[in-house]
C-alpha cells in the first residue's frame, strides 16, 4: 500500500465508514467508528492540540466523538426496533456531519500549515496502530472536560 499522509488516511477511513452506514451494517459501523475515533483521539488530535491554531476545532470535534460514543453505548442496550432505528439514523447523521466538518474545516488548515513529512509520519503511525486497537477499547479522558462514556 502506498504511503498515505494522515489526512488522506483519515479521509479514506471516512469513505469506508460511509459505506458501512449506507448498508446499515451496525456491527461494522460500531467497530470501525470506535477504531477511527481512537486513532484520532490517541494519535492525531493530541499532536494537533500542541498548536493553538487547532484548539477550538479539536475540542469541538472531541465533543462530537463523545456524542457518537454515547449513542453507540445506547445502541448496545436492549432497545425496541423503532428506537434502535431512530438512534442509528441519528448516529449516522452526526457522524457524517462530523466527517464533513473535519474535511472542510480542519483538514484544509492542517494541509496548509503542517509539513508534508510530519503528515506522512502521523499517517504511518495511525496505520500501524490500527490493528492493535480493540473495538471495545475504552477511550481515556486525556483532555480536560472530556466525558468519555464507557463502551
Ligand atoms: Fe473525528
Ligand atoms: Fe475523522
Residue 148 is predicted with a pLDDT of 46
Q: Which ligand is nearest to the CA of 17?
A: 2
Q: How far apart are CA 70 and CA 150, in angstroms?
A: 9
Cα–Cα–Cα angle for 98, 99, 105, rounded to 5 degrees: 85
CA of 63 to the centre of ligand 2 (A): 13
Backbone torsions φ then ψ of 24, nearest 5 degrees = 50, 40
Residue 21 is predicted with a pLDDT of 98
Residues with CB under 5 A from ligand 1 (ion): 40
CA of 85 to the centre of ligand 1 (A): 23
Residue 18 is predicted with a pLDDT of 98
CA of 40 to the centre of ligand 2 (A): 7
CA of 73 to the centre of ligand 1 (A): 17
The C-alpha cell that represents 43 in the structure block: 494519535
Return the closest-CA partner of residue 124 out of 2, 4, 1, 16: 4
Below-50 pLDDT ranges, the chain: 140-145, 147-151
pTM: 0.88
CA of 36 to the centre of ligand 2 (A): 7
Amino acid at each position: 500500500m502506498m504511503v498515505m499522509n494522515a489526512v488522506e488516511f483519515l479521509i479514506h477511513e471516512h469513505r469506508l465508514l460511509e459505506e458501512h452506514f449506507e448498508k446499515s451494517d451496525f456491527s461494522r459501523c460500531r467497530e470501525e467508528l470506535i477504531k477511527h475515533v481512537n486513532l484520532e483521539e490517541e494519535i492525531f488530535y493530541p499532536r494537533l492540540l500542541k498548536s493553538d491554531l487547532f484548539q477550538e476545532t479539536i475540542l469541538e470535534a472531541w465533543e462530537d466523538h463523545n456524542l457518537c460514543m454515547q449513542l453507540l453505548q445506547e445502541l448496545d442496550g436492549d432497545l425496541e426496533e423503532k428506537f434502535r432505528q431512530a438512534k442509528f439514523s441519528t448516529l449516522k447523521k452526526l457522524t457524517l456531519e462530523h466527517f464533513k466538518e473535519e474535511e472542510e474545516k480542519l483538514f484544509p488548515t492542517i494541509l496548509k500549515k503542517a509539513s508534508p513529512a510530519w503528515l506522512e509520519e502521523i499517517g504511518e503511525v495511525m496505520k500501524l496502530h490500527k490493528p492493535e486497537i480493540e473495538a471495545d477499547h475504552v477511550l481515556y479522558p486525556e483532555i480536560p472536560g472530556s466525558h468519555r462514556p464507557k463502551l
